[in-house]
Structure 1
């Protein structure tokens, strides 16, 4: 979204595909590590299949098409008995690599940070490469990029598949951590949350994704704590979550139009100057 100008409102669909891929393979007696490795591959492959026709769309048409993809996927999975149906996929074993089993929360925390480091490294190399410069040109003007020799269609599809692979890897880790996934584990609100994270942290910057994700997750946890206090209605956590996304987007657009990280960089440059 920040570098290629493609707005996706269905990123949780690839998150779900990664989770179900890892869960199904491990439930059927394959090594859990194989399921984790397959999760980003299958998610990327699915992105290529749906991306070929879908990426012909632009702007909000593309955004709503990705949202429709998530809704269709969740509907199909909810009716598939081999995926557990609406009840969900149960009995997913703990992730194990060699003789080591990820049994504690702290081990999954280290695994997540390793995955974050890997994805940040890949994303940084992509952005700094010649294709990365082409992606930024594509985000500015597809017509100008095409006139400069950029293969617009191929690059759009490639970056779409790469982002799906990142989401699939996260979904695989999520499935092994919980040991249970269901269609309700991947609501539409999750995709909206990803967009809010990117916008709040700062589009067009890799560190913005981390800062935005950290800020949103911590804020949601605080709101959940407030919403579950005695005397609060049962629907309070959901209402507060929806409200905070709307309020945050309005505040960021008004006061930090480029996000937190770019604003901090401007402030630090002024202090140094």
Structure 2
């Protein structure tokens, strides 16, 4: 028990230190970078959930973009009425709950599937879900989607932020703070889960499901639990994404999004929350940097935009070849070698 308490205490202290870094970064950057850090935050949450599902439990999902769509549309519907009096954190929590329910249904249906069969089932989910708003166009906005209204910043929070930082709290910075606080909470929860008995059960099922079943672990329950936790992360990420874009539309949650999340997990390091953070950073900052570099080299805007996916793909191939454990895994091995030498 004392060892578990020590782990939780260490995770909380690390989260507090990270919160200080977040405050310093967000207060010293402008609106554009604040928006980019918000994007990195919701990608990190989604990648963290996928890391639990794939890295710890061994289930490959190609449909997390669809689960993000559930969270995004739930948020858009809850904020549709100007008279909505629910605080924004409560709305985000409701979006997570709705996505948890959807994830439980999908997880139960997919609990008996493994490997390419599970990937195929979640791939079908990613293809089918963006078509639902087109079918229910009257309530879900069709191809144009739903406009997401950003709630007003609470007065007491704006006053407190001005008292602490000496700057007015803009909506972009407010959303960035909210997103990164969500990242820290989610990562602390996932880190504690991975070190708990539940996390050890997930790893046992991943390593050898026959041995895990002989040890008394319910394989179906372990897989459903991992899928539900991962779905809740995707729902929260989708809600924050909708708030950042001010829109929930089918085009934002196409199959490409699910594939990008998988690539972010592979790039950062499969099974590592630090790797999920690295992958989210690369997914957020690498394409704009490549596009800007292409423009500086004289390419047209369209050509520079088309260059970004090519470079991202080449970087993915290089990392897979040179560091199969991802960026975080490669750095961890390098540090271990230096300490050993």
Aligned twin of 1:94 = 151
Structure 2 equivalent of residue 200 of structure 1: 267
Bigger share in helix: 2
Cα offsets for 1:34-57 (capped at 9, x unmatched): 321111111111011122112321
CA distance in 1, matches of 2:311, 2:95: 31
Are the structure 2 counterparts of residues 138 and 92 from structure 1 closer, same or farther at C-alpha, using a change threshold of 3 Å? same
| In 2: Cα distance, 1:105 partner to 1:41 partner | 25
1:257 aligns with 2:310: no
Note the aligned Cα RMSD (angstroms). 2.1
Aligned positions, number: 272
Counting only pairs closer than 5 Å after superposition, residues 175-214 of structure 1 correspond to structure 2 as 175-214=242-281
Do structure 1's residue 21 and structure 2's residue 74 form an aligned pair? yes
Q: In the aligned structure 2, how far is the partner of 1:67 from the partner of 1:234?
A: 29
Distance 2:152 2:258 in 1: 25
After TM superposition, give the deviation of residue 92 of structure 1 in Å.
2.1
The whole-number CA distance in structure 1 between the counterparts of 2:331 and 2:292 is: 29
Q: Within 5 Å, which residues of 2 pair with 1:208-227? A: 208-226=275-293
Mark the CA change 1:140 to 1:50 in structure 2 (over 3 Å): closer, same or farther. Answer: same
User: Secondary structure, in 3 states, of the residue corresponding to 1:20?
Assistant: helix
Would you say 1:83 and 2:150 are equivalent positions? no
Q: C-alpha displacement at 1:181, in angstroms?
A: 1.7
- Give how far 1:95 is off: 5.8
Query: TM-score, with normalisation over the residues of structure 2?
Result: 0.74
**Counterparts of 1:32 and 1:178, CA distance in 2:** 19
CA distance in 2, matches of 1:120, 1:222: 27
Per the normalisation by structure 1, the TM-score is 0.91
Which residue, 200, 207, 223 being the options, matches 1:133? 200
Equivalent in the alignment of 2:129: 73
Query: Kindly tell me: are residues 99 and 27 of structure 1, through their superposed partners in 2, closer, same or farther at Cα, counting changes over 3 Å?
Result: farther
Moved more, 66-75 or 243-252: 243-252
Task: Encode CA deviations 1:129-148: one digit per residue, 9 max, x unaligned.
Answer: 01111111111121121111
Pairing 1:232–2:289 present: no
Gaps of 5+ in 1: none
**1:2 aligned counterpart, secondary structure:** helix
